[in-house]
Amino acid sequence: MRPPSAQAGGTSFESIRAAVVADPENAWARELGYSPLYTAGPHARVAVIGQAPGRQAQESGLPWNDASGTKLFEWLGVTENEFRDPERFAVLPMDFYYPGKGSTGDLPPRKSFAPRWHPPVLDLMPQIRLTVLIGSYAQQYYLADRAKRNLTETVHAFREYLPAIIPVAHPSPLNFRWQARNPWFTTDVLPVLRARVASALAE
């Protein structure tokens, strides 16, 4: 399930990536030497959709290469090698570029980015069986009016979105207070997440 498609050029993964790089709206990223940071493959079974790359990920060219990534692999019940296999996982942040630093943290992903570039990439991955929505930006966009008032309520209602979608919190170590306040996430959500990931990869 996805929002209505917006048109973007490209009929292959290579041509889409080239079009993202060439887009005038991404000229600032080209000038900084940034490459679009996402992974996708024609046989991917699980799509992981988060916010936007952090500075460390952008500079290294490797998404989820920090403590948040380590926790994410644990939540998904997979190894890092399995996660980085585009035949298993597609990693599509809401913006393919690090958006820069704001006054209270990283800037949010550009609102115009996902509507333009997610649909053509997803159209080339017909075997996606599960979409994991990490954080409020992905959840608000992909769930639209099905999202609840806030992230906590949306994640708590995760069973409403199964079997194709599961919303989760961000795996950042900075979220430890949220997890402490919401122990049901560990006891109720994570076992279902791991089971759905395993099922999607086995189908």
CA angle centred on 54, ends 49 and 59, rounded to 5°: 120
- 91 forms beta bridges with 39, 48
Distance of CA 25 to the CA centre of its chain: 21
The residue ranges of every structural domain in the chain are: 37-202
Give domain 37-202's CATH architecture: 3-Layer(aba) Sandwich (3.40)
Question: pLDDT 10s digit of each residue in the chain, 203 long?
Answer: 444 333 444 479 999 999 999 999 999 999 999 999 999 999 999 999 999 999 999 999 999 999 999 999 999 999 999 999 999 999 999 999 999 988 777 899 999 999 999 999 999 999 999 999 999 999 999 999 999 999 999 999 999 999 999 999 999 998 999 999 999 999 999 999 999 999 999 98
Q: In the chain, count of helices (H) and strands (E)?
A: 11, 6
Sorted by sequence, the CB contacts under 8 Å of residue 183 that are 6+ apart come out as none
Q: Is the dihedral of CA 91, 133, 159, 163 positive or negative?
A: negative
